[in-house]
């Protein structure tokens, strides 16, 4: 159903760091109104609303969903809650934009898709990287042959967010470096080389099943490959590159939210000695392009977006499921050395 007016009333679920960034960027998003925020704590919800210009504050998700003025919901809660909250919102007639990962696995993502389809509501994973102008330009340029035939990809996202035994990461919350950080390198490889024919992977997994690091190789026909890695306990240079038969492109850290990239192409002397740097200005915290795309799609009566469809999300999660199966699950963390 097409909304007849030029605004979408957004509700944000959760008051953590991502929700704070989203709230700031909603202020910069044409057609978006900061309407409601929901937290388990009434005090936190009220403070968040007052500080960031939201009209309503809720301490109950179900009560928020019963508000007919709420039209679209941004879900920024722990991973394990995403699918259930998204399905509840869709069944209440709301559109949903779900912080990545949309779900813990491909099966959960399919359930979200089925409900969104049945309810004819917009549903999308918040893979903001795919809406970043720099990322779109790089992928488009590489696909157009700027560096010849694409032969290989490298991408990493490793930052020490905490210690290996951090109590804030639990299996119950769906904590996972593969789902949180690894999804970006995996998406990068998919966009430039497509689905691999073979996956090799290893990593470190705690006794409770929380994965901490991964190193992954995607293999393709004709000798093409992608080398990917992710960690939430150590640095792995968070940059990316794509190489071809006539040159290469590099994206500086953090590659998923970069404002520029470089092209090295031509003969060896030229490729080594010269580069073409492409720059774009960042809008807000970097979420604005995605929020504008989602808001416009909702206003246009669409149920998805071509830049990141539900089919794309299911494909990515299917690969993540396969990577998880390939990683050595022998417990690697017994005691942290002091």
Tokens of 83: 């699918």
Superfamily holding 130-284+318-326: Dihydrodipicolinate Reductase; domain 2 (3.30.360.10)
94 is catalytic: no
Span 191-206, pLDDT tens digits: 999 999 999 999 999 9
Nearest partner of 102 among 286, 308, 292, 255, judged by Cα: 308
Under-70 pLDDT residues of the chain:
1-5, 328-338
Cβ proximity of 323 and 196 under 8 Å = no
Radius of gyration of the chain (CA): 20
d(C-alpha 179, C-alpha 182), whole Å: 6
User: Mean of the per-residue pLDDT values for the chain?
Assistant: 94
**What's the pLDDT score for residue 333?**
43
Cis status of the peptide bond prior to 101, with omega within 30 of 0: yes
**Which residue among the candidates 79, 100, 121, 264 is catalytic per the annotation?**
100
| 60, 79 Cβ separation under 8 angstroms | no
Can you give the pLDDT at residue 3? 44
CATH classification code of 8-128+286-304? 3.40.50.720
Domain boundaries along the sequence of the chain = 8-128+286-304, 130-284+318-326
Q: What is the DSSP letter of 2?
A: -
Topology match between the domains 8-128+286-304 and 130-284+318-326:
no
Q: Kindly tell me the sign of the dihedral angle through the C-alpha atoms of 327, 332, 333, 338.
A: negative
Virtual CA dihedral for 18, 282, 307, 222, nearest 10 degrees?
-100
pLDDT of residue 13: 98
Whether cis (ω within 30° of 0) applies to the bond prior to 254 is: yes
Residue 153 neighbours by CB under 8 Å, 6+ apart: 188, 189, 192, 193, 218, 225, 226, 227, 228, 240, 241, 242, 243
Tokens of 220: 């393709």
Query: What would the pLDDT profile of 7-34 be if each residue is shown by its tens digit?
Result: 999 999 999 999 999 999 999 999 999 9
Among 138, 163, 218, 197, which residue's Cα sits nearest to residue 338?
163
pLDDT in tens, 204-214: 999 999 999 99
What is the pLDDT at residue 77? 96
Q: Write down the pLDDT at residue 5.
A: 54
- Which pLDDT value is given to residue 328? 61
Sole residue written with tokens 């488009």: 140
In the chain, DSSP assigns E strands to: 8-13, 32-38, 56-58, 72-75, 95-99, 123-126, 150-158, 198-205, 211-219, 225-231, 240-244, 247-251, 260-265, 276-279
């Amino acid at each position: 159903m097409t909304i007849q007016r030029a605004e979408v009333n957004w509700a944000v679920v959760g008051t953590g760091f991502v929700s704070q960034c989203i709230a700031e960027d909603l202020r910069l998003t044409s057609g978006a109104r900061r309407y409601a925020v929901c937290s388990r704590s009434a005090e936190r919800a009220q403070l968040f609303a007052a500080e960031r210009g939201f009209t309503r504050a809720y301490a109950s998700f179900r009560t928020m969903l019963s508000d007919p003025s709420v039209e679209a919901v941004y879900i920024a809660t722990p991973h394990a809650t995403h699918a259930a909250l998204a399905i509840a919102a869709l069944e209440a007639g709301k559109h949903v934009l779900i912080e990545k990962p949309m779900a813990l696995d491909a099966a959960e993502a399919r359930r979200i898709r089925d409900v969104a389809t049945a309810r004819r509501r917009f549903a999308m994973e918040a893979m903001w990287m795919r809406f970043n102008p720099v990322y779109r330009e790089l992928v488009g340029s590489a696909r157009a042959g700027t560096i010849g035939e694409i032969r290989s990809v490298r991408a990493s996202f490793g930052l020490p967010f905490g210690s290996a035994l951090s109590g804030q990461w639990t299996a119950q919350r769906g904590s996972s470096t593969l789902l949180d950080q690894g999804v970006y390198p995996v998406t990068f490889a998919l966009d430039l080389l497509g689905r691999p024919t073979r996956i090799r992977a290893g990593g470190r997994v705690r006794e409770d099943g929380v994965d901490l690091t991964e190193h992954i190789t995607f293999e393709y026909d004709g000798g093409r490959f992608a080398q990917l890695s992710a960690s939430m306990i150590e640095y792995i240079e968070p940059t990316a590159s794509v190489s071809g038969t006539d040159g290469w492109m590099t994206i500086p850290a953090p590659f998923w939210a970069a404002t520029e990239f470089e092209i090295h192409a031509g003969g060896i002397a030229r490729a080594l000695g010269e580069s073409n740097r492409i720059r774009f200005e960042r809008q807000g915290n970097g979420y604005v392009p995605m929020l504008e795309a989602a808001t416009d799609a909702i206003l246009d009566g669409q149920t998805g977006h071509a830049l990141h469809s539900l089919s794309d999300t299911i494909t990515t999660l299917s690969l993540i499921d396969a990577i998880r199966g390939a990683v050595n699950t022998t417990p690697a963390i017994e005691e942290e050395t002091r």
